Structure 1
Amino acid sequence: MNRKHTISALALAAAFGASGAFAEQLNVVCSNEQAWCDLMTQNFKIDTGIDVAMVRKSTGEVLAQIRAEAGNPKVDVWWGGTGDPHLIAAAEGLTQATTADVGGQLGWSLNMTEMSGGRAVGVHVGLLGIIYNTEVLAAKGLTVPACWSDLARPEYRGEVQVSNPNSSGTAYTELATLVQLFGEDEGFKLLAAIGANVNQYTKSGSAPGKAAARGETTIGIGFMHDMVKLKKDGFPVAIVAPCEGTGYEVGAVSVIAGTPNLAAATRWVEYVLSAEAQSRGLEVGVYNIPSNPASATDPDAPDMAGVKLIDYDFATYGSSATRERLLARWETDVKYAGGAIE
């Protein structure tokens, strides 16, 4: 047998398990931080023997992808990212109800499961907040932002960074939060006023916080658990829970409708809901609030009881019609308010 045929034979042998059946492989699209995506892929393989092909994308990108692939899905599971797009995918029949046991999860996780007819299961909570670089703020003689309305101050012109809600679930959560806090018209007025101070709309929701940590912008908007990691990593940052109140995400996991790998996809859902798997996130600086009450947490992680939270209306703002209408209005009323780049 020549070398080419030897390689082909080895590759074929590797694709087969001991039983003679093709080895399982799961295709997962991940909307969490890359390090968390990678660690879960590694651990799932070790614990189950199932290979995972993982790609990381923001929630808006994933929703567009699974819409385009409806009826011929290229991925089996969508893990992480804000719950609103997961609810939209569920309502559009792009995902299917899981048979995994979700009974032991916290109440907000069970609410997500019930709301979606079992098609989206809550896996973590993230609280929306503001981060600023303490050294840059002091050097520029700027006042500390304490509220959403503060971000509209003229002194912050060019000092604020936030992601684009078309691609980022984080930014859509911000948009929906301000609309719920102030009413739609007043909320958009504030978004436009803040937009006049925005220096860049990023693709990723965690990018503004990282830019603030590096001193590339003074202020960023994002989820507090990502900010906690930056602070624990030693960056000169402070975290603010806005005085008016703030919204939050319920990150979710969903099985794609029509997946040919349903058994493996179900095992993934069960795995990411387990206390053992959720606790491992601390190894890579994941400080969100996990759905399994037995999961380990960090004392510096955000606490829902310690923050003024709005009664976020997931049913309304997780609907396709509401999301598309608000995004269209954001394009006309907010996006070019300050000439920010993307």
Structure 2
Amino acid sequence: MKARIKKVLSFLGLVLFTVLVAGACQSTSESDQSSEADQASTESISQSTNDSDQVLRVVTTSERYTPFFDKFTEETGIPVEFLSMSSGEVLSRMEAEQGEPMADLWFGGGLDAFISAKDKGLLEQYQSEAVETLPEAYRDPDGYWLSKGLTVGGLLVNDQVLEELGIEKPTTWEDLTKPEYKDEIIMSDPAVSGTMYAIVKGLLDQKGESDGWAYWQAVDANIPFYGKRGKDPEEKTAAGEFAIGIVPIDASSFETAEKNGLSAIYPTDGIPWVPEGVAIFKGAANADAAKSFIDFMLKPENLSELSKLDGKDTAQTVNPNEVEALDLGLETNDLIEQDLSTFGSARDQILEKWAEMTKGKESK
């Protein structure tokens, strides 16, 4: 790496590109019935929890969800405490702390980690009555996890660095294999970041096993080291340490890029994506409070509010079988066709092969 450390730009936190899957197209009579049921449910939750000493402990990916949890506290009387951690870190810690989980609720993070956690017996089973509003692909049939939306992968580019180097900005994933980008690309370790794992898995699904791994080997040749934190690519690209960061991308990414002389890019050869999970930790001290939160979250009006937090007021509640494009030039057919059925089961194998491929390359 050339010594081009520049002033670190304020990144305001990464906002996940969220797709909500709720029954938004209900008839007026169905909405009225739902509203009455929701009111009764809220009253029931409040009566059962307000007088208790419960505290809902939440592991989440971002502090931006605080207003959403504040609303939950207002309705139920249950205070919330937060711990920020990437999905890979959560999974590792859960395995080390079996029987004594660090929190009650896991909110956000790549679905691969949730599926793996289920397979390892680390999650609590809960089937909310309202979960039927979600398409089957976005909820565990056994009730161990559900999805609150989608995160998509893209690129963040430092235009000034590229100008100094005299090279063009990438527009496709395939561009990342070009020799002129050697030592100018950064991504987080996919064993740590669920989004990075989703990008690796998505492009393997798109290209096929043989061509997919050949592709990643070529990209690896242009990456000097892998970030130990999920935020490393954004922060280091914004600081001018790298020309290109592989990142989760959404509306706020474009806003931040515009304000700071960067470019947020949806590669034109397909967008990898991952559902964001929600689950209750097995052995949670306040499992009842976590169940109450899931019931709260699945109300249509609360899913809509969650959508606004995730999309910076641009995402909307959508039909269960559609994907909202956020009016940023991303269309539903831009999303790579991925095999969610192997998202969790293939995780260990993919990460083992990844570790073998990048052996000797230090993570920093």
The answer to whether the Cα contact below 8 Å between 1:288 and 1:301 also exists between their aligned partners in 2 is no
> For residue 308 of structure 1, what is the aligned residue in structure 2?
334
CA deviations 1:229-257 (Å, max 9, x no partner) are: 5236x122223222332310100100122
Deviation at 1:75, TM superposition (A): 1.6
Taking the TM superposition and a 5 Å limit, the aligned residue runs for 1:218-297 are 218-225=243-250, 227-231=253-257, 234-274=259-299, 275-276=301-302, 278-279=304-305, 282=308, 286=312
The answer to whether the Cα contact below 8 Å between 1:36 and 1:286 also exists between their aligned partners in 2 is no
CA deviations 1:248-270 (Å, max 9, x no partner) are: 01001001223232221012213
Taking the TM superposition and a 5 Å limit, the aligned residue runs for 1:1-342 are 22-30=52-60, 32-33=61-62, 35-100=63-128, 101-105=130-134, 107=135, 110-113=136-139, 115-225=140-250, 227-231=253-257, 234-274=259-299, 275-276=301-302, 278-279=304-305, 282=308, 286=312, 299-300=326-327, 303-305=330-332, 308-319=334-345, 322-336=346-360, 339=361, 341-342=363-364
> For residue 9 of structure 1, what is the aligned residue in structure 2?
none
Bigger drift between 78-87 and 215-224 goes to 215-224
Among the aligned pairs, what percent are the same residue? Answer: 27
In 1, the alpha carbon distance for the partners of 2:253 and 2:94 equals 30
In 2, the alpha carbon distance for the partners of 1:204 and 1:302 equals 29
Number of equivalences: 312
Q: Cα 1:292–1:86, aligned 2, differ >3 Å: closer, same or farther?
A: farther
> For residue 5 of structure 1, what is the aligned residue in structure 2?
none
Deviation at 1:143, TM superposition (A): 1.3
In 2, the alpha carbon distance for the partners of 1:288 and 1:301 equals 10
The structure whose RCO (Cα within 8 Å, separation 6+) is larger is 2
Letter in 2 for 1:63: L
Letter in 2 for 1:23: D
In 1, the alpha carbon distance for the partners of 2:89 and 2:56 equals 20
Deviation at 1:184, TM superposition (A): 2.2
In 1, the alpha carbon distance for the partners of 2:326 and 2:221 equals 37
Deviation at 1:283, TM superposition (A): 5.6
Unpaired stretches in structure 1, ≥5 consecutive residues:
1-16
Q: Secondary structure at the match of 1:163?
A: coil
> For residue 6 of structure 1, what is the aligned residue in structure 2?
none
Backbone CA RMSD of aligned residues: 3.0
In 2, the alpha carbon distance for the partners of 1:68 and 1:302 equals 43
In 2, the alpha carbon distance for the partners of 1:50 and 1:90 equals 26
Letter in 2 for 1:158: D
CA deviations 1:20-74 (Å, max 9, x no partner) are: 96421111111x22x3244444343334321112101110111122222323333
Q: Cα 1:291–1:123, aligned 2, differ >3 Å: closer, same or farther?
A: farther
Bigger drift between 235-244 and 59-68 goes to 235-244
The answer to whether the Cα contact below 8 Å between 1:91 and 1:116 also exists between their aligned partners in 2 is no
In 2, the alpha carbon distance for the partners of 1:74 and 1:301 equals 38
Letter in 2 for 1:327: L
Q: Cα 1:289–1:312, aligned 2, differ >3 Å: closer, same or farther?
A: farther
The answer to whether the Cα contact below 8 Å between 2:308 and 2:316 also exists between their aligned partners in 1 is no
Unpaired stretches in structure 2, ≥5 consecutive residues:
1-46
CA deviations 1:134-186 (Å, max 9, x no partner) are: 23222321112122121111111111110101111011112112211222232
In 1, the alpha carbon distance for the partners of 2:112 and 2:280 equals 15
Q: Secondary structure at the match of 2:274?
A: strand
Q: Secondary structure at the match of 1:87?
A: helix
Letter in 2 for 1:64: S
Letter in 1 for 2:267: P
The answer to whether the Cα contact below 8 Å between 2:104 and 2:284 also exists between their aligned partners in 1 is yes
The answer to whether the Cα contact below 8 Å between 2:172 and 2:268 also exists between their aligned partners in 1 is yes
In 2, the alpha carbon distance for the partners of 1:312 and 1:284 equals 23
